[in-house]
Chains A and B, each alone.
Chain A
Amino acid sequence: MSSPIDFLLWVKGPAFDIALAVFVIGIVVRLLEIVLLGRKQDLAEPKGEEFGPGLRTIVTRTLPEAGSFKQSPFTVIGGYIWHIGFLICLLFFVPHIELLHSVLGIKWPGLSNHIVDAVAVVTMATLVAMLIDRITHSVKRFLSGPEDYLVWLAAFLPIVTGYLAYHRVLVPYPLVLGIHILSIEFLMILFPFTKLMHTFTFPLARWYNGAMAGRRGVQS
């Protein structure tokens, strides 16, 4: 018998295991590849230390640089809004906390569903606005490849399907919940193979920039 419940059980069972395997193995392999490749030995005499500036840059690069903010404020603000919105929905919706608790063994207070709901709406609207901007802005359109649109879709689908599941818009509910979980599995599978990897590689890149500058005695 094939019912929405069967679909949900498949999505929560074998499909999730497959997506999780691709996600974990892919990310570990990619990070190890980057780290193990190493850097050529710098024979020049260091003019400063690496550790402090490296750590500092991981944090300071979170704030936008004045120049780029002035040039494209929409990209910067929109980027902040949807990243923060996505993280709030991911980390502070109680059903998600239950899932993370089952993996990590720790839990934290969740937000009221109404707040998460409002944040999800803002996040979706921002993502749509950013897609329109990407398509209408001639330079951004020129710089965008198929992967950019694929990654946008992978980030957008979990929020829109989660919103539909929460509001129980599509009936029956097991079907829409299954589609929501499937969209996250799609995101997890794409993760190691696309620029979504920046979630894990950004500290390495920022560390390297900061450490390199620190060694040369310049501000990063």
Chain B
Amino acid sequence: MADSKTEPKTLGESLRQQGVSRRGFLKFCTATASMMALPPAMVPAIAEALEKARRPSVIWLSFQECTGCTESLTRAHAPTIENLIFDHISLDYHHTLQAAAGEGAEAAREAAMHENHGKYIVVVDGSIPLKDPGFSTIAGISNLDMLKETVAGAAAVIAVGSCAAFGGLPHASPNPTGAVSVSEIIKDKPVVNVSGCPPIPTVITGVLAHFLTFGGLPELDDLGRPKVFYGQSIHDRCYRRPFYDKGLFAETFDDEGARKGWCLYRMGCKGPMTYNACATTKWNQGTSWPVESGHGCLGCSEPNFWDGGGFYNAISIPDGDIARNVGLGAVAGVAVGAAAGMLNRNAKADAVARHETVTVDDLEKTS
């Protein structure tokens, strides 16, 4: 969407054009290396690769989503180098951000696909409805068709947000639209899941930086997420963890424990089962993150987090209504037990009635 006449050729040029100093750029490279758990020796290599990196064409497809992911990535309080990297990519199609509409917009997508065949990156946010193609269409094209058509010539796909990565809210029970994730449809291209509701902005710029530096995608976990960001759980990196170990828990949002910053496990924190970088990267440029602001983790970067029981139920509590089920079970047990008891009593009475007395004479007769 940038003007092609003033368009810088490389990332280095782009950053210099926007007033970023060499020092600032190297600081970003060091931070990126550290974030991606790379040795310091890699910093010059990252700097060199990013300096020379050419603008990759990015086509951003928004399906069944809430735009929260785009908000997360674009609404930083102050411009950062991460933003500039994001600006540097050639975002050729993004129907929320682009000025063009209708046929012009679709023409931009088709042009980007044609010009960069085999090299462009497709970013998807939102899930894809399979029950009825009419549930979500863009320019009359169903989400499924647009995804398949666009991904056919792509180098890689980045599924941004839990809807694209795992189905997210549209996929929550009873899943009225038959929503599925990108990876359930795309099997022949590398798919990176950058999950979260929304995902941390630094994580997507990190994935892009990795792609620009190494020309490939980072190492992924079993759920297709970059291990550098999703390799450790919230619980393991939580600054409130010592309180968990000591058995000190907040039990309401305004009790003494809450004021003292104790562990939020009892208030439903899903940190122990959630893998994400919130505890280390934090949000809003390192200002804070949910647990630091006093609310438990919702587990938004994990599949089906909407269906994982109440947000305020501790992880150890099963999902069903246990008290009701125990009551129903007890009633059923009493009914079955009473019937079994009656049968047993009848069998006993029957045995007593049929009991034959044996005398010594009888025994002598038979022997």
Contacts and interface: CB of A to CB of B under 8 A. Distances in A.
A28 interface: yes
Interface of B: 166-167, 181, 183-184, 222-223, 233, 235-236, 244-247, 249, 265-266, 272-273, 275, 302-305, 307-309, 313-320, 322-323, 325-326, 329-330, 332-334, 336-338, 340-342, 344-345, 348
Interface string A27-46: 11111110111100000000
A37 B318 contact: no
A95 to B, nearest CB: 4
Query: Which 6 residue pairs across A and B have the least CB separation, nearest first?
Result: A28-B333, A32-B337, A36-B341, A24-B329, A95-B316, A98-B314
Given A5-B304, A113-B244, A172-B275, A103 B341 contact: no
Contacts of B325: 17, 20-21, 24
Contact of B222 (A24, A33, A102, A172): A172
B219 to A, nearest CB: 15
A94 B265 contact: yes
16 contacts: A3-B222, A8-B308, A12-B318, A16-B322, A27-B333, A31-B337, A98-B265, A98-B316, A102-B322, A112-B245, A113-B246, A113-B247, A172-B275, A173-B273, A177-B272, A177-B273
B330 A95 contact: no
Nearest to B305: A5
A110 interface: yes
A203 interface: no
Interface string A171-190: 01110010001000000000
Contacts of A96: 316
B302 A36 contact: no
Contacts of B249: 94
A26 B341 contact: no
A20 B302 contact: no
B266 A98 contact: yes
Contacts of A172: 222, 273, 275
Contacts of A5: 273, 302-305, 308
Given A3-B223, A28-B330, A29-B336, A37 B320 contact: no
A95 B322 contact: no
Nearest to A2: B303
Given A1-B184, A38-B345, A172-B222, A28 B247 contact: no
B273 A36 contact: no
Contacts of A114: 245-246
A99 B340 contact: no
Mostly, the A contact residues are: helix
Interface of A: 1, 3-6, 8-9, 12-13, 16-17, 20-21, 23-33, 35-38, 94-96, 98-99, 102-103, 105, 110-114, 168, 172-174, 177, 181
Contacts of B265: 94-95, 98
A24 B348 contact: no
A9 B304 contact: yes
A80 B208 CA distance: 60
A16 B318 contact: yes
A13 B319 contact: yes
A21 B314 contact: no
Given A12-B309, A20-B326, A29-B336, 17 more contacts: A6-B304, A9-B308, A12-B319, A13-B319, A16-B322, A24-B333, A28-B329, A29-B333, A33-B344, A37-B344, A94-B249, A95-B316, A96-B316, A112-B245, A113-B246, A168-B233, A173-B235
A113 B245 contact: yes
Contacts of B336: 25, 28-29
A168 B333 CA distance: 38
A1 B266 contact: no
Nearest to A192: B333
Contacts of B316: 95-96, 98-99
Contacts of B323: 102-103, 105
Contacts of B235: 168, 173
B337 A29 contact: yes
A168 B275 CA distance: 13
A111 B249 CA distance: 11
A9 B333 contact: no
A28 B338 CA distance: 10
A28 B304 CA distance: 36
Contacts of B222: 3-4, 172
Contact of B320 (A16, A38, A99, A110): A16
